[in-house]
Amino acid sequence: MNERSDEKLMQAYKEGDSEAFEILFDRYEKRLRAYFKKRLSSKHLNEVEDFFQMTWLKVHNNRKSFDGSKTFAPWMYTIALNIIRDHLRTGYAKVSKISFDENLGEDTANRTAEDRIIGHEQFEQIAEGLSLLSESQKEIVLLSDWEGFGSQEIGQILGLKDATVRQQLGRARKCLQQHLEELVK
Amino acid sequence: MSGTSRNIKSSILQALREEKQNPLKRARKTLSLLAAISLPVIGVLWFSFQQEFNIFWLLSSLVWFSMAAGAAFFYWKPQPRIVVSGFWTPWMYGKLLILFLLISAFQLLVCPHLAMISPSPHFSFDLFSPMQRMFMSWGGIASCMFFCGLSFSAIATAISLPMMGRAATGTRSKILFKLAGLAVLAQLPIAILQLSNAHLRSHFALWLTGSFLGILSLSALFSILTKKILAPKTRRAS
């Protein structure tokens, strides 16, 4: 297990260290692909691999411009998000219909069929709730609750102020909570 | 790890290795490619039209050679050599420019009338004569120049775009204009020969417009077709 931070690896990769690139690639491979799968509608799922490859090509081509004082993950996700926006500009507003994909979960192997059905139902309810949110709110919720980014990092990716992110996230969660409460009633 | 992951990873690793490579080794590879492209072309043209050679031929050859050198440089520049739909790298542009340059030299060989040169006694291709006669009958030399430009560039595009494979799928208009510009640039050596002839000079713009339109329309059509027809097929297959 390599203990070097992403930023140190990126610094080494900038200087041409191929081992550092390999570690970074392996570290983010599944996560990035899963992000594209979650972010794209079923209509665009065949483009996941293209977007995945394009992100790494852009990371490689722009690696010299990476600011070592900043964190790597938000920088890479900014590239990924720009690729989605750039290529799906016309249909971008319709993109985020989240689809349930059992392969995305990390702990699916030990789950029973009943657990999976419940999980599927919950996921569908959350997906339905997400479709009620605005595009930016949905993006913030995905980056925060799925990808695990903090508000500052999300602000870096989306070009928003920290306070705006927190405010939007609060509103989005409240909206989701109301939606789920209505379903329970 | 999936196949595509392996591909992108190995192509980036290869690019990193190339960056560390000795510049002399890279220069040798570039020169070898340049020689492989230019020696046969210049040899065949010299053999065919040596009586016609003048200062404009020399200038035209120099321009052709410089562009071929640029293409060879971009081809061997350290970079990931991978074809991703809609992503164009200097390697792909280099490959495309080489192809367009070869087609433009071939064009001169099979249709020397484009530069008001008599056909070579060694290469008497009569393949395009019926087409030229038809264009001439439509509106004389002006029509012939426009439609010859259009036809040849369309043929060049038809050959080159399928070779570009997935990168050309659903290519956006900005890239299409770049490709058309690149193809017209590769016609520059012929344009120099045309400009040297007083009779052709007045119709030169028509030929250039025809070439530009031929490439643009066909590549746009190819892009739309691959996006609309091939992409859904791939989706169904997957």
pLDDT in tens, B190-224: 888 888 888 777 788 888 888 888 877 777 777 67
- Show residues of chain A in contact with B228, CB under 8 Å: none
- Show residues of chain A in contact with B2, CB under 8 Å: 49
- Tell me which residue of A133, A53, A37 sits closest to A93, measured CA to CA: A133
| B51 vs B24, higher pLDDT | B24
- Show residues of chain B in contact with A37, CB under 8 Å: none
| A6 vs B218, higher pLDDT | A6
Q: What pLDDT is stored for residue B25 in this prediction?
A: 93
A25–B contact, CB cutoff 8 A: yes
Whole-prediction pTM: 0.76
A15–B contact, CB cutoff 8 A: no
B87 — phi, psi (to 5°)?
-110, 120
B86 — phi, psi (to 5°)?
80, 5
Under an 8 A CB cutoff, do B82 and A18 touch?
no
Identify from B5, B20, B88, B223 which residue to disrupt to test chain A contact, counting A C-beta atoms within 10 A and taking the largest count.
Answer: B5
Under an 8 A CB cutoff, do A60 and B17 touch?
no
Q: Is the pLDDT of residue A95 over 70?
A: no
Question: Mean pLDDT, to the nearest integer, of A37-57?
Answer: 83
Task: Compute the mean pLDDT over every residue in chain A, rounded to the nearest whole number.
Answer: 79
What are the residues of chain B with a beta carbon less than 8 Å away from any beta carbon of chain A? Answer: 1-2, 4-5, 7-9, 12-13, 15-17, 19-20, 80, 82, 84-87, 89, 231, 234-235, 238
A66–B contact, CB cutoff 8 A: no
Q: Is the pLDDT of residue A109 over 80?
A: no
Under an 8 A CB cutoff, do A87 and B86 touch?
yes
Question: Mean pLDDT, to the nearest integer, of B2-28?
Answer: 88
Q: What pLDDT is stored for residue B31 in this prediction?
A: 97
Q: What pLDDT is stored for residue A57 in this prediction?
A: 94
The band of B139, judged by pLDDT with boundaries at 50, 70 and 90, is confident
Distance from CA of A176 to the nearest CA of B (A): 33
- Contact by Cβ (8 Å): B61, B189: yes
Under an 8 A CB cutoff, do A60 and B12 touch?
yes
- Tell me which residue of B74, B223, B83 sits closest to A53, measured CA to CA: B83
Kindly state the tokens that stand for A38: 């979650």
Give CA–CA dist B36/B38, Å, rounded. 6
- Contact by Cβ (8 Å): B114, B194: yes
For B51-84, b/e burial (b = at least 16 CB within 10 A) is: ebeeebbeebbeebbebbbbbbbbbbbbbbebbb
According to the per-residue pLDDT averaged within each range, which of A3-17, B121-135, B209-223 is highest? A3-17
Find the CB nearest B234 among A22, A46, A54.
A46
Q: What pLDDT is stored for residue A92 in this prediction?
A: 38
Under an 8 A CB cutoff, do A25 and B12 touch?
yes
Give CA–CA dist A151/A153, Å, rounded. 5
Nearest-by-CA chain A residue for B170: A87
Identify from B85, B172, B229, B230 which residue to disrupt to test chain A contact, counting A C-beta atoms within 10 A and taking the largest count.
Answer: B85
Q: What pLDDT is stored for residue B237 in this prediction?
A: 39
* B76-85, B119-128, B141-150: least confidently modelled range: B119-128
| A137 vs B224, higher pLDDT | A137
Q: Is the pLDDT of residue A97 over 50?
A: no
Q: What pLDDT is stored for residue B200 in this prediction?
A: 77
Q: What pLDDT is stored for residue A8 in this prediction?
A: 93
Under an 8 A CB cutoff, do B20 and A54 touch?
no
Under an 8 A CB cutoff, do A46 and B235 touch?
yes
- Show residues of chain B in contact with A54, CB under 8 Å: 84, 86-87
ipTM, two decimals: 0.74
Under an 8 A CB cutoff, do A54 and B86 touch?
yes
Identify from B6, B17, B21, B84 which residue to disrupt to test chain A contact, counting A C-beta atoms within 10 A and taking the largest count.
Answer: B84
